[in-house]
Amino acid sequence: MISLTSPVRTRAHGWPAGAKLLALACATTALFLLQPLWAQAMVLALTLVLYALPGRHFLGHGLRQIRVIWPFVALLLVWHAFAGNWPEGIRTALRMVAALALANLVTMTTSLGDMTDLLHRLLAPLRRIGLPVGVIESAIPLVIRFTPVLIGKGRMLLEAWRARSPRRANWHIVLPMALLALDDADHLAEALRARGGLNPLTEE
């Protein structure tokens, strides 16, 4: 999906988006049905194998995409450690990482256009009864598109802070990050208004 789609082409790039999303839904459902730790670890290992099959560059790109989850995993493990329930914490962490990795695998091998077309078809019944689904069809791809953009700008702010101060950034970049997000939203709104708003997107 533009910024999220892997630059390395794989066989999965040519598979239908609907089939991949259905497989993702089945896999994540199975993750919550599995209880043994060894089963959760096996699913995660198989997911890593899927990342490794297309080659080293695909694997590296995929691992960089999911590294944002590690702080949440650490917090989860600490919480369960204080609660005295290590097995449940490890099981939940394995499940979380595997589910995110599988979802990221779908986004890495599915273009934004394919995902938008699928969303358009899925919302067709609602469109036929007169519901304004154009906003949804536009909002979801925009969130997918701008999430990596905002993450990239956040990294630039962190690098700029480190270059100017020996202290940790912490909350200091929250305000400039919020202003950057609002500025991007303002530019996007102007671009949509210049193209007639969202109404054209609701047409068949």
Interval 88-144: pLDDT, tens: 889 889 999 999 999 889 888 888 778 778 877 877 787 778 776 776 767 777 776
> To the nearest whole number, what is the mean pLDDT of the chain?
80
pLDDT value of position 201:
41
Same domain, 15 and 108: yes
What percentage of the chain exceeds 70 in pLDDT? Answer: 86
Domain finish residue from 93, 116, 139: 116
Q: What is the pLDDT of residue 71?
A: 82
Question: Which residues have C-beta within 8 Å of that of residue 80, sequence separation ≥ 6?
Answer: 86, 88, 89, 90, 92
Is 6 inside a domain boundary?
no
Domain match, 102 and 190 both: no
Residue where one domain finishes, among candidates 53, 84, 116: 116
Helices (H), 2-132: 17-33, 37-52, 56-66, 70-83, 86-108, 112-122, 124-128
Q: Which residue ranges in the chain fall short of pLDDT 70?
A: 1-4, 132, 135, 137, 144-145, 169-171, 196-204
* Domain-located, residue 74: yes
104 and 128 share a domain?
A: no
In a domain, 168, yes or no: yes
Same domain? For 143 and 168 the reply is yes
**Total number of domains in the chain:** 2
Residue 52 to residue 70: CA distance in whole angstroms: 20
Residue 176 belongs to some domain of the structure = yes
- Residue 141's domain spans which residues? 123-202
Exposure on the CB side of residue 130, measured as CA atoms within 13 A: 0
